[in-house]
């Protein structure tokens, strides 16, 4: 069938194609059917939405499609019903525990990028990877397919350093300090981050509080060649474009299948042309990797994958047993990171980790002698040079370099939990902290999150404040309070954990 394009002011978070009910009946199209739109050399796939927003003879296109494809109002397109793509068969193969061949992985990734696979099929793919995993051949094929379906960056300043955390630990704003420290030492570090996957704030969500994170590859090249660094969102570029699409399913399920995580991280590094990559594996209770043995096994996989991609990879296993610093959630974390950069100091968990990671990169990049990297990183932070570099990054990325931490707005609906008893803090439950911050609205509501007043090992008196929840609406605050009451994220020795009555 032929129809005229009508551009609808609608964002559905997916590729939606709106068809009038009568037209759909005639063409035997049903909600969520896959259709192909053809106009000249352009081909786009989308899912059918039956809607009164368009008349007969029209085809409505949501703004999501227009972000990557140009269609004009009134343009004539051919609408062709599309059958289930071949890649669904390969997804089922993985669901049944089979090993995928390179060509099968390439087909799945291409179909994800072309939007031939819909959310439900992509979620099934992600779930099949969570359950049945991938071996190193599959991971390497997946990484290269994810990178090569998008653009590649070629920056003239070498060597190109990079850092990436596997995430999972609440409050992990560490790389917002690492990147300016490393760039202030004269190294080149074009950092791409994803948005939150399992946490309440990915690094891209946090940086977005004070600067833009969505840039074209040409803009990134210009920024990095000028100041040696950037901190951008991988999903905004056509860089490993399957990554952000699969991350949406991961976020909804709060899972990060190991093989997909390796491919997600390393495809971004490969596409950015990174030569020396440091991977941070936070390890501890309630994060993605709970034991040092598991962390070592994962480290070997990163190093092996790096070799296959021609990259030199080192891994830092870091402490992830409780949140990093004192804040969780985009705006609160942005405040804390900026404060630390300005003061050259801050909470031990943040400063030690940031200078430790930056130090490894300074040694890998050959600007610090072996064993001296951390000291040099600390000097750069304390001297204010890292803050100056951060100001350059913020300015080049369209933000206000003069912004002060207290000027960053945080959620004004608050509730503070206090210590029910006196004693030492014995544990902080990472998963519960993330769950509360997400219930409060993070990461989408930038001001939502948690301010923590205590860390494990500290002494509190009954009635001392433990943490404050911030939200942007009363409804979200109430949800977070309920979640916090149910999960009791902070344990104090001697505290009654549960009271059980007649059962
Ligand atoms: O904690 P969750 O949400 O699972 O993991 C996602 C976060 O981990 C990585 O951090 P970085 O960009 O290396 O700092 C990702 O880019 C993302 O920001
Ligand atoms: O970028 C990232 C970080 C953690 N896990 C992923 O899958 N991607």
Q: Looking at ligand 1, which atom is closest to the CA of residue 201?
A: 3
Please enumerate in sequence order all residues whose Cβ is within 8 A of that of 389, keeping only pairs 6 or more positions apart, or say none: 180, 181, 183, 184, 227, 228, 229
* CB distance 51 to 83 below 8 Å: no
Cβ count near 383 (within 10 Å): 12
* Alpha carbons 447 and 333: distance in angstroms, whole number: 10
Query: Does the C-beta of 167 come closer than 6 Å to ligand 1?
Result: yes
Domain of 206, CATH number, reads 3.40.1030.10
Let me know if residue 454 belongs to a domain: yes
Among residues 405, 428, 447, which one ends one of the domains?
Answer: 405
31: DSSP letter: T
Question: Do 222 and 207 share a domain, yes or no?
Answer: yes
Among residues 371, 405, 439, which one ends one of the domains?
Answer: 405
Q: CB-side exposure of 426: number of CA atoms within 13 Å?
A: 10
Question: Do 22 and 57 share a domain, yes or no?
Answer: yes
Nearest ligand, measured from the Cα of 255: 1
Residue with tokens 């008196």: 461
Distance 233 CA to ligand 2 centre (A): 12
Residues pairing with 1 in the sheet? none
- Between CA 461 and CA 468, with CA 466 as vertex, the angle to 5 degrees is 145
Question: Do 357 and 332 share a domain, yes or no?
Answer: yes
Question: Do 439 and 484 share a domain, yes or no?
Answer: yes
Distance 479 CA to ligand 1 centre (A): 25
Question: Do 339 and 205 share a domain, yes or no?
Answer: yes
The 3-state secondary structure of 355-371 reads HHHHHHHHHHCCCCCCC
Question: Do 211 and 121 share a domain, yes or no?
Answer: no
Query: Does the C-beta of 175 come closer than 6 Å to ligand 1?
Result: yes
Question: Do 230 and 286 share a domain, yes or no?
Answer: yes
* Alpha carbons 17 and 63: distance in angstroms, whole number: 10
Let me know if residue 146 belongs to a domain: no
Which residue from 193, 267, 434 has its CB within 8 A of the most atoms of ligand 1, so it is best to mutate? Answer: 193
Among residues 380, 405, 430, which one ends one of the domains?
Answer: 405
Nearest ligand, measured from the Cα of 256: 2
Q: Give the pLDDT confidence score for residue 259 in this predicted structure.
A: 98
Three-state secondary-structure class, residue 202:
coil
Question: Hey, whose CA ends up nearest to atom 16 of ligand 1?
Answer: 193
Question: Is 320 annotated as ligand-binding?
Answer: no
Let me know if residue 443 belongs to a domain: yes
Let me know if residue 202 belongs to a domain: yes
Please enumerate in sequence order all residues whose Cβ is within 8 A of that of 36, keeping only pairs 6 or more positions apart, or say none: 43, 44, 45, 79, 80, 81, 82
Among 51, 40, 317, 379, smallest CA distance to 169 is for: 317
* Alpha carbons 212 and 43: distance in angstroms, whole number: 30
Question: Is 422 annotated as ligand-binding?
Answer: no
Let me know if residue 248 belongs to a domain: no
Question: Do 357 and 208 share a domain, yes or no?
Answer: yes
Let me know if residue 182 belongs to a domain: yes
| Alpha-helical segments (H) within 289-372 | 292-309, 330-343, 348-364
Distance 330 CA to ligand 1 centre (A): 12
Please enumerate in sequence order all residues whose Cβ is within 8 A of that of 326, keeping only pairs 6 or more positions apart, or say none: 171, 336, 347, 451, 452, 453, 455
Q: Give the pLDDT confidence score for residue 66 in this predicted structure.
A: 84
Let me know if residue 200 belongs to a domain: yes
The domain total for the chain is: 4
Q: Looking at ligand 1, which atom is closest to the CA of residue 165?
A: 13
Question: Do 76 and 95 share a domain, yes or no?
Answer: no
Which residue from 190, 203, 289, 329 has its CB within 8 A of the most atoms of ligand 1, so it is best to mutate? Answer: 203
Question: Do 115 and 40 share a domain, yes or no?
Answer: no
Question: Is 288 annotated as ligand-binding?
Answer: yes
Distance 462 CA to ligand 1 centre (A): 35
The Cα diameter of the chain in Å comes to: 73
* Alpha carbons 49 and 58: distance in angstroms, whole number: 13
Nearest ligand, measured from the Cα of 139: 2
Nearest ligand, measured from the Cα of 143: 2
Paired tokens of 179:
């990147």
Q: Looking at ligand 2, which atom is closest to the CA of residue 263?
A: 7
For strands 2-7 and 58-61, give the pairing: parallel
* CB distance 458 to 340 below 8 Å: no
* Alpha carbons 172 and 205: distance in angstroms, whole number: 12
Which residue from 126, 161, 164, 165 has its CB within 8 A of the most atoms of ligand 1, so it is best to mutate? Answer: 165
Q: Distance of CA 229 to CAs 162, 241, 279, 438, 455, Å?
A: 10, 21, 18, 30, 33
| Tens-digit pLDDT string for the chain (503 aa) | 999 999 999 888 889 999 999 999 999 999 999 999 999 989 999 999 999 999 999 999 998 888 778 899 999 999 999 999 999 999 999 999 999 999 999 999 999 999 999 999 999 999 999 999 999 999 999 999 999 998 899 998 999 999 999 999 999 999 999 999 999 999 999 999 999 999 999 999 999 999 999 998 899 999 999 999 999 998 777 888 999 999 999 999 999 999 999 999 999 999 999 999 999 999 999 999 999 999 999 999 999 999 999 999 999 999 999 999 999 999 999 999 999 999 999 999 999 999 999 999 999 999 999 999 999 999 999 999 999 999 999 999 999 999 999 999 999 999 999 999 999 999 999 999 999 999 999 999 999 999 999 999 999 999 999 999 999 999 999 999 999 999 999 999 877 767 788 77
Let me know if residue 106 belongs to a domain: yes
Domain of 128, CATH number, reads 1.20.970.10
Catalytic residues: 256
| Alpha-helical segments (H) within 51-202 | 63-66, 87-95, 102-113, 119-132, 136-148, 175-184
Paired tokens of 46:
């989308």
Distance 49 CA to ligand 2 centre (A): 31
Question: Do 458 and 394 share a domain, yes or no?
Answer: no
Question: Do 104 and 176 share a domain, yes or no?
Answer: no
Query: Does the C-beta of 166 come closer than 6 Å to ligand 2?
Result: yes
Domain of 9, CATH number, reads 2.40.40.20
49: DSSP letter: E
* Alpha carbons 178 and 182: distance in angstroms, whole number: 6
Show the domain range for 435.
413-493
């Amino acid at each position: 069938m032929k129809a005229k394009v009508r551009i609808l002011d609608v964002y559905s978070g997916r590729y939606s194609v709106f068809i009038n009910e009568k037209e759909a009946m005639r063409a035997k199209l049903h909600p969520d059917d896959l259709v192909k739109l053809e106009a000249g050399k352009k081909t786009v796939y989308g899912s059918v939405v039956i809607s009164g927003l368009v008349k007969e003879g029209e085809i409505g296109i949501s703004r999501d499609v227009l972000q990557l494809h140009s269609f004009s109002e009134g343009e004539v397109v051919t609408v062709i019903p599309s059958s289930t793509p071949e890649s669904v068969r390969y997804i089922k193969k993985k669901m049944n525990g089979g090993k995928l061949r390179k060509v099968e992985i390439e087909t799945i990734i291409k179909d994800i990028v072309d939007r031939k696979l819909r959310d439900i099929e992509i979620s099934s793919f992600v779930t099949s990877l969570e359950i049945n995993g991938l071996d190193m051949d599959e991971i390497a094929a997946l990484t290269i397919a994810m990178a090569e379906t998008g653009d590649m960056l070629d920056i003239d300043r070498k060597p190109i350093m990079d850092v990436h955390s596997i995430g999972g630990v609440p409050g992990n704003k560490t790389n917002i300090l690492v990147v300016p420290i490393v760039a202030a030492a004269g190294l080149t570090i074009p950092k791409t981050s994803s948005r939150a996957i399992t946490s309440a704030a990915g690094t891209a969500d946090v940086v977005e509080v004070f600067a833009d994170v969505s840039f074209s590859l040409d803009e990134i090249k210009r920024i990095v060649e000028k100041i040696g660094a950037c901190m951008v969102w991988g999903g905004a570029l056509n860089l490993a474009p399957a990554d952000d699409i699969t991350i949406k399913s991961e976020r909804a399920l709060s899972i990060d299948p190991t093989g997909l995580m390796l491919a997600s991280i390393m495809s971004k590094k490969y596409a950015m042309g990174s030569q020396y990559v440091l991977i941070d594996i936070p390890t501890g209770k309630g994060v993605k990797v709970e034991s040092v043995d598991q962390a070592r096994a994962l480290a070997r996989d990163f190093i092996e994958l790096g070799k296959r991609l021609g990259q030199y990879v080192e891994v830092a296993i870091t402490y992830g047993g409780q949140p990093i610093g004192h804040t969780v959630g985009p705006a609160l974390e942005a405040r804390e990171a900026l404060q630390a950069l300005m003061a050259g100091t801050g909470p031990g968990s943040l400063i030690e980790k940031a200078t430790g990671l930056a130090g490894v990169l300074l040694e890998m990049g050959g600007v610090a002698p072996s064993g001296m990297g951390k000291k040099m990183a600390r000097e750069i932070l304390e001297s204010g040079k890292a803050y100056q570099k951060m100001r350059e990054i913020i300015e080049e990325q369209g933000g206000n370099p003069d912004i002060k931490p207290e000027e960053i707005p945080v959620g004004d609906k608050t509730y503070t939990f206090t210590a029910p008893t006196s004693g030492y803090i014995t544990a902080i439950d990472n998963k519960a902290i993330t769950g509360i911050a997400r219930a409060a609205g993070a990461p989408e509501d930038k001001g939502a999150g948690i301010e923590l007043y205590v860390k494990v090992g500290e002494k509190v008196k009954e009635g001392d404040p433990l943490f404050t929840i911030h939200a942007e609406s009363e409804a979200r605050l109430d949800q977070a309070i309920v979640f916090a009451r149910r999960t009791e994220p902070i344990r104090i020795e001697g505290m009654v954990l549960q009271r059980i009555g007649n059962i």
